Structure 1
């Protein structure tokens, strides 16, 4: 019995085993034979219009499904995608970047081949990728290829970060041993004894705490602990806050959820309350300037227990942090929650009254006049009434990201924003990856049906507009709400409000579906475009059954004033302007 298969078949079969359903990328002459193995492995080829957008989409797909695959050609293709892979590294998205490279003999000879720099150095691009990937493999040896593939894919999953695989064209068909069993994804250095000890230590701290708090950040989304985390929050009744990056991870209907902690943007009373905690359980931290509002939205380090995928740090003072490796956060949480049964906890000190709580603001928001222009403050609150359980919502860097902090989210929704990389244009391409992952998971029965809803600036849209073509090509269900406020508002808030460099060329945005080849009058893939210049028009648009359903491609353009922006954006923009001019940290 022949137990050997072509190397490319091995690679794509392993990806399918790990849950990849579709492969993003752009074909090139160094990848063509490689791509012949995609469909036989049971995978779908997405076929993006450019490599940067394919990388963005693969990043977002990975955030939903837990892993993704991206294929580009050597040199020009991989460098076009490196910005996206850098973002996936910074924000921990497990992307497998596969690069079709030149034949091994040509590399060894230092041949002057196309897509190279012409200097005979075929390692230069791989060396660049070492800085934005956690594992790399160059498949030049058929005997070693299966081991290297498994090693790299294992690191991608365990570290939740991108990896890099080179497949020379003459190795695509090389015979390798067929895969046996599954890739070992056990946590390296895992210690049940240590984990049980940490559970007991946490339980002791929880029982002793008089002023506890739970603080949820965005990297907790990578640990598959959403359900366990919400159960901990419910059982303890501890006051709970999130960062902007962590918003949507906590069920906002829980009475002890108190919104996003916004540091200098919020009230001094709230900051003082957070700083006075004697126990902070901090999940999945991202301590970036944007996520912490200029490093002002951080809890008391000495009272903080930081929990990450495989580590727990008790106390975070630079002098004596105690960091323990070898736990699994999911099993630790499960054990901790189970041990809470029958344990009497002190009644936690309540969170100060918050007049800026979006849930309260939405209830008291006055009805706007139908002919009044849509304002930023009311828009981000009122649009919450459009959301439904199961929706995945994306907010582009800038106005939308800050506005999204005011969303009131239904149970079982997801919010995707960027809180460190901030590559403008990411979210439009990301919506393609999200919708594709969502469709696959609904079909697999692993996710409830929901809509993909994107909030995109009209300037940001120009960065990655070809993604609309990718959405149409794959007949994906995406609702794009374009916030048109005449230029780069976030840049205006920081510097150069009236400067020409913050202007953008006005596009006829709603003609994009036609230009990119959307079907006309096809009931199986409806395309709807609407615009709103005032509140009356916006209410009419959002009540449209086609927009409500979210099937096919929907584009809604909402016009707002050039000098209007969310309050938090205005305040943070002012902070950045001072920091950039004075060189402060």
Structure 2
């Protein structure tokens, strides 16, 4: 019987499952393990640290369907724990492979480095047992292929992280390779008659509904049902909304797509329409407080059918052990559109809209209240958009997205700094899918990141990985001069919400980019248009790609500031790095550093709308900007100085 090394078996199996690249950091207990990555046909990425590597693997997995991370025992794996927890919370299928000390050292309870020096070797695995859905401690060569396959199967079934320990003395141990001849199967274990019973109940509700709607949440991605949901949306033409987690998973150009439902913070007409619905088909529910606008958009239980991983819920009746991944395709095959309700005329419901620069006065300062709807014009089909926790994360929710555009937005874990490494991983996955002609027929696309200064400082090193691998990433950095969301919540004038002023525009050069980069700055819409030049084209999502070359300035717009707004661009080959100097106060105010006008009624109304929509308990608008004056009087340099902007 042909044999293969343990490490070779593991990495070949991962490649079969769709992994093309492996993230991680080398360490003494995984070095020999890494020798087998490239021979298996995989690409070694190599990240700045384990936390970033795990974030990147998460981003990769959400696009590619599975991702692999390699760390070393103890110090390495614990550095990745925060990211693994986030992947568990938001359902990213990450395979965490840990190189561990040899079995003799462990069995002899030897006192070695990367331990608590007490001979106990299982504590780190015990930690991961709470953060992963399956674990394997490879010990017996006779069982290793089966162990690996079982754990990887659970990773796919649950779309959550798994954990594999590979002792250093087992890396080159040879095991049978016969299992590699067949792919890992995901069996359907539910008898067909149970499916039929559930299906009959669903169809009965669908055919009797007179005011039906569709509500899509983010776990639909993990469940693998997006294509079927899209077919259902097209077949029925029923009004469709998503949660924040669900945005970017559907075709938002469809005429019956109406964006994110914000519950009690949404348009009254939308709330009334949804409240009156007699049937809500809800797919992939993920009802965390931050995904549901304080639970205000959770659909009425008695009028809803909820399709979860292994359950279908009819009101208070839960039918368990029925995978929605199998029941929904049967529903698509069985449904008769001649029996479903057709809205005629179709209801007049709001949709996400674009805002053109042509509709904005050229001499006005660039303001955040218009930023996101204008910025949506920059996106093109196939782009991946990431909005970091903070102001960008809320802003991207307002964008109308082109077809096949994926969105990463803060959902439940909300670990700031996640999005930069995740952008690296997502861009790599995107590149691999395009190269394999498996990306919606799209031959060129970008990964676009909007990130605040505080988040950027958390994981800035991953800019080096993006540059090193020449990934097609566009980064827009919004410099709020500190933790602005935290200032809105508490401690507006407190030093603990400040961060160090960085020369952000020197970051690309410092991290290895060519020094012949392009920079520019704008403060008004006219200046923005000048910078964009002929490269900027606006469309209305007719499917035509935007004629933007990545060797030219790329566009953005900016909030009005407590001081002059400045936008700075840096183009680094395929990487665009843009710095936006500003403050969230510009959502509500114009004015210079020393003077803040009393807000108008219109400004107060807008502030209230944004406040509740974003679920921030902000202080009175007239008092919010008071932190800027002490800031100026403190002697610290402003955004116009070299120290704070580059």
Alignment counterpart, residue 434 of structure 1, candidates 422, 426, 431: 426
Question: Once structures 1 and 2 are overlaid, which stretch shifts more, 303-312 or 140-149?
Answer: 303-312
Distance 1:200 1:540 in 2: 60
Please give the secondary structure, in 1, of the residue aligned with 2:579.
Answer: strand
Q: Is the 8 A contact 1:281 1:304 kept in 2?
A: yes
Deviations 1:137-184 (A, max 9, x none): 001111111111001000001100000000111111111111423343
| 1:17 counterpart = 2:16 | yes
Alignment counterpart, residue 450 of structure 1, candidates 445, 449, 452: 445
Partner of 1:555: 577
Distance 2:197 2:330 in 1: 11
Q: Please report the RMSD computed on the Cα atoms of aligned residues, expressed in angstroms.
A: 2.3
| 1:290 counterpart = 2:290 | yes
Give ranges in structure 1 of 5+ residues lacking alignment: 522-526, 579-585
Q: Is the 8 A contact 1:493 1:573 kept in 2?
A: no
Distance 1:49 1:540 in 2: 37
Give ranges in structure 2 of 5+ residues lacking alignment: 536-548, 556-570, 588-605, 620-646
Question: Once structures 1 and 2 are overlaid, which stretch shifts more, 38-47 or 253-262?
Answer: 253-262
Deviations 1:417-464 (A, max 9, x none): 130000001001101001100011111111123111111111211010
For the pair shown, which has the larger CA radius of gyration, 1 or 2?
2
Q: Is the 8 A contact 2:236 2:337 kept in 1?
A: no
Partner of 1:378: 370
Alignment counterpart, residue 517 of structure 1, candidates 512, 516, 529: 512
Partner of 1:469: 464
For residue 332 of structure 1, report the CA deviation from its aligned partner. 3.1
Q: Is the 8 A contact 1:269 1:352 kept in 2?
A: no
- Equivalenced residue count is 564
| 1:216 counterpart = 2:216 | yes
For residue 354 of structure 1, report the CA deviation from its aligned partner. 5.0
For residue 558 of structure 1, report the CA deviation from its aligned partner. 2.3
| 1:421 counterpart = 2:424 | no
Aligned 1:39-78 pairs, distance under 5 A: 39-78=38-77
Distance 1:283 1:562 in 2: 34
For residue 350 of structure 1, report the CA deviation from its aligned partner. 7.9
Partner of 1:140: 139
Distance 2:363 2:500 in 1: 27
Please give the secondary structure, in 1, of the residue aligned with 2:355.
Answer: helix
Please give the secondary structure, in 1, of the residue aligned with 2:111.
Answer: coil
Partner of 1:170: 169
For residue 132 of structure 1, report the CA deviation from its aligned partner. 0.6
For residue 528 of structure 1, report the CA deviation from its aligned partner. 4.8
Distance 1:84 1:500 in 2: 28
Alignment counterpart, residue 502 of structure 1, candidates 497, 521, 543: 497
Distance 1:412 1:438 in 2: 12
Please give the secondary structure, in 1, of the residue aligned with 2:491.
Answer: coil
Partner of 1:33: 32
For residue 265 of structure 1, report the CA deviation from its aligned partner. 2.2
Partner of 2:205: 205
Alignment counterpart, residue 358 of structure 1, candidates 352, 355, 363: 352
Q: Is the 8 A contact 1:150 1:183 kept in 2?
A: no
For residue 348 of structure 1, report the CA deviation from its aligned partner. 4.1
For residue 248 of structure 1, report the CA deviation from its aligned partner. 1.6
Distance 1:421 1:351 in 2: 38
Partner of 2:529: 539
* TM-score of the superposed pair, with normalisation by structure 1: 0.91
Deviations 1:17-47 (A, max 9, x none): 1010000000001000000000110000000
For residue 117 of structure 1, report the CA deviation from its aligned partner. 1.1
For residue 398 of structure 1, report the CA deviation from its aligned partner. 1.2
Distance 1:476 1:161 in 2: 26
| 1:571 counterpart = 2:588 | no
Question: Once structures 1 and 2 are overlaid, which stretch shifts more, 303-312 or 209-218?
Answer: 303-312
Alignment counterpart, residue 391 of structure 2, candidates 391, 395, 399: 399
| 1:87 counterpart = 2:86 | yes
Q: Indicate how the Cα distance of structure 1 residues 227 and 99 shifts in structure 2: closer, same or farther if over 3 A, else same.
A: same
Partner of 1:367: 359
Q: Is the 8 A contact 1:483 1:560 kept in 2?
A: yes
Q: Indicate how the Cα distance of structure 1 residues 573 and 322 shifts in structure 2: closer, same or farther if over 3 A, else same.
A: closer
Distance 2:218 2:112 in 1: 43
